Amino acid sequence: MLTLIARDLRIGWASGGIVNAVAFFLLVTILFPFAVGPDTVLLARIGGGVIWAAALLAALMPVERLVGPDLDSGVIDQLAVRGVSLSAVAAAKIVAHWLGFGPPLMLAAVLAAGLLGLPAATLAAVELGLLIGTPGLAALAVATSALVTGLRGAGSVAGLVMLPLAVPLLIFGAGSIEGGMGALKLLGAVSLLLLAGAPFVAAAAMRAGME
């Protein structure tokens, strides 16, 4: 499993997907103040929600490349022939995807907070929420990638599938900034639910794609 995680991380860095996701995240947060104006009070009030929305869109960017290339090249078939559980493969991809975009996104959120004028307490709440919620985003991204692999216009379909399912993470993540422990617990529950179910959903989708 560690080999699979390291392999997916190398591919993510080599393809530029991780760098592109973080760059997109920063671009959204940089452009947002230009759209709403230089009102520092307004930016500080809505900045946490902006960071969460940008994080969701950044997690969606590499969805097409998470499972599809391995199915097309026969890597998944070879692993299945060797007796590796497809749910374990999906779990390894979830861990690798989170390691690739979660910590870098949390570091980029510090820069985004400076651009949006967020106070330290708000930044701390945002970082805690991202730490809890981004594993759920990674799980949802891998499951979505497996579900849309092989479909025409997979990128557009992935957005239609993933974005509605990610709404609870977005709501509770943004709500945890001011909602306290109650919203954080709900965010954690949703994230754990996605982490528990996504490997099996992705495994079923990969099995169907191999037939």
Provide the whole-model pTM: 0.85
Contact 173, 52 (CB under 8 A): yes
Q: What is the pLDDT of residues 199-209, one digit of tens each?
A: 999 888 888 87
Q: Are 72 and 147 spatial neighbours (Cβ–Cβ below 8 Å)?
A: no
The pLDDT tens digits of the residues spanning 12-33 come to 776 666 778 788 888 888 887 7
Q: In terms of pLDDT, which residue wins out, 208 or 132?
A: 132
pLDDT in tens, 34-69: 777 767 777 777 777 888 888 888 877 777 778 877
- Residue 192 clears pLDDT 90, i.e. is over it: yes
Q: Are residues 125 and 173 in contact, defined by beta-carbon separation less than 8 angstroms?
A: no
**Which one-letter DSSP state was computed for residue 65?**
G
Spatial neighbors of 97 by CB under 8 A, at least 6 apart, are 8, 12, 62, 66, 138, 141, 142
